[in-house]
Structure 1
Amino acid sequence: MDKKIVLITGAGKGIGKATVKKFLKEGFIVIATDKVWENKIENNFVYCYEMDVTDRNSIKYVVNKIEKEIGSIDVLVNAAGIFETLSVGQTSVVQWENIFSVNSTGVFNVTQIITDKMQKRKKGSVVIVSSNASKFPRKYMAAYAASKAAASMYIKCLALELSEYNIRCNIVSPGSTNTDMQRKLWNGAEIVPKAVLEGDLKNYRLGIPLRKIAEPNEIADAIYFLASDAAGHITMEELTVDGGATMGV
């Protein structure tokens, strides 16, 4: 086939699912992976696999099967992630390790295994979904923010190592986005709480200058741009998509 192939983790919902739709629209064959599938995506150019980013054997099985039966992976998008709001004092070692196992070690596992194959071909593009919380302290988000910060710096180091192989690695860091993960913070509200849009001084949090949260497709557009040939001279970069919430830092 003359179509390029993208593998997307966390593809079952939210930003990952929107990214599947974006790459499909752009003519890619999409390998959509998630730990558990509730509703598989029905499309002739989408292949859905169960894959656990914390299990290296699971990743190797899926990647080898794809490369043998479908074709070489041109683009990797790591959108898999988990989120919990916990004070540092409330955070157990198990919870800390669980968050890091997906958000940081999971990124390491998937990128290491797939870029090993990309190096042999001397081409490829990697984009991970981090968070604007990786750059600004947040109350009750220490484990999540730290895990995303670790993943972001890891990807920049990986990009430096892989530059000689013509492999680009970049980061998209969303702010508040209309996903299940975000709505968990709304305490049952059906609309975006005022504190999200206007800020919360009690918790040292600024509002969103654009006065709206992102839609998943807006994050997917940013992911596609960095993955595409239009960003062919961009690597080691972080594109923050948060409506100005972190003031351009």
Structure 2
Amino acid sequence: MAGQVHAEISAAPTGFAGELTGRFALVTGAGRGIGEAVVAALAGRGARVLATDLDADTVEKVAAQYDGGRVTARPLDVTDAAAVEALVEDTESAHGPLDIAVNVAGILRSAPAIDLSDEDWAATFAVNTNGVFHVCRSVARRMSARGAGSIVTVASNAAGIPRAGMSAYAASKAATAMFTKCLGLEVAAQGVRCNTVCPGSTLTDMQRGMWEESGADIEAARRSVIAGDLGAHRTGIPLGRIADPADIAEAVAFLASDRARHITLHDLYVDGGATLRG
């Protein structure tokens, strides 16, 4: 729910509180979960944030937690290319250039590949891949012309390892991660950095929804994810915990900051070692 992560990370870690002062960031999927946590992490470091989400009421509640105009809210359907372009154009005209863009909006439609419907496949790519393309194209054009900017796409560790029952999600995230790298290669000479953060299992509404759909007891499901499932060819989580949205947001904030000024085309896996990429 909106508001659950704000208190947890509204204050940046010591030494980083003002590192994004003067920066202006766009965050998609900001109404809950990882997106809400990203808003908190960026605003906590001094950035102004435009928080967007398909659910206008939810993202308004997120923005209402902040005073002084640090966070403003706008509804946005990232699958609508014209709407994305209009929002970016209107925002920059009214409030100044965007320095940071974070793609968080995403959906999950889970089913065995042979049972997956055309509708679920198309919907997954429409949000997870096309939506990222629409946002990146719009902001990267402007950032490139100005000679600076940072784009961070929240993908998934499923982009780099097969997951049973998640073919559409994994394929969409893999496409998105590679698109972000290709874009980053093309705009690097103009001073624009493009990176991805790839979470593993994270305590979000999406994760809880997967557990509820399976009818599993939440605590038992949590333990099962940590332990892994040999029958599903799924490793456990070596660090022994499921991520909080704040863990992902901290990685995003780092990549958006000047501390990562020489990092681009990078996939940062934040999954407790679940994909054994250590």
Q: TM-score, normalised by structure 2?
A: 0.87
User: CA offsets per residue over residues 118-147 of structure 1, 9 Å max, x none?
Assistant: 111010000000000011111100000000
Please name the residue that 1:145 is paired with: 170
Match of 1:236 in 2: 265
The letter for the 2-side match of 1:16 is: G
Task: Give the number of equivalent residue pairs.
Answer: 248
The counterpart of 1:189, out of the listed 207, 213, 217, is 217
- Aligned residue number for residue 201 of structure 2: 176
Question: Structure 1 unaligned runs (5+)?
Answer: none
Per-residue CA deviations over 1:175-227 (Å, capped at 9, x if unaligned) read: 00010001112235332432201010110001000110000011000000011
1:198 matched residue in structure 2? 227
Report deviation, 1:37.
2.2
Any conservation in 1 of the 2:39–2:51 contact (CA below 8 Å)? Answer: yes
Instruction: Write the letter of the residue equivalent to 2:97.
Output: S
In structure 2, runs of 5+ residues without a counterpart are: 1-20
Q: Which amino acid aligns with 2:142?
A: K
2:54 corresponding residue in structure 1:
35
- 1:30-83 per-position Cα deviation (integer Å, ceiling 9, x unaligned): 000011123312122111001111001111121111101111000000001001
**Quick check: 2:29–2:54 contact (8 Å CA) kept in 1?**
yes
| 2:251 equivalent to 1:226 | no
Q: Using the TM superposition, name which of 84-93 and 131-140 deviates more.
A: 84-93
Could you say which residue in structure 1 is the equivalent of 2:188?
A: 163
Counterparts of 1:42-191 in structure 2, within 5 Å, are 42=64, 43=66, 44-186=69-211, 187-191=215-219
**Counterpart secondary structure, 1:32:** strand
Contact 2:222 2:242 in 1 (8 A): no
For 1:108 and 1:212, the matched residues in 2 are separated by 32
- Report Cα offsets for 1:78-120 as digits up to 9, x if no partner: 0010012111111111110110011111111110011111111
Letter matched to residue 157 of structure 1: C
Corresponding residue number in structure 2 for 1:211: 240
The CA deviation string for residues 13-42 of structure 1, in whole angstroms up to 9 with x for no partner, is 000000000111000000000111233121
Q: Which amino acid aligns with 2:25?
A: V
TM superposition outliers: structure 1 runs of 4+ over 2 Å: 187-194
**Distance (Å, rounded) in 2 between the aligned partners of 1:204 and 1:190:** 21
1: distance between equivalents of 2:106 and 2:222? 23
Look up the SS of the partner of 1:72 in the other structure.
Answer: coil
TM superposition score normalised by structure 1: 0.97
Distance 2:182 2:71 in 1: 31
Percentage of identical aligned residues: 44
In structure 2, distance between residues paired with 1:105 and 1:225: 25
Mapped to 1, the partners of 2:187 and 2:205 lie a distance apart of 34
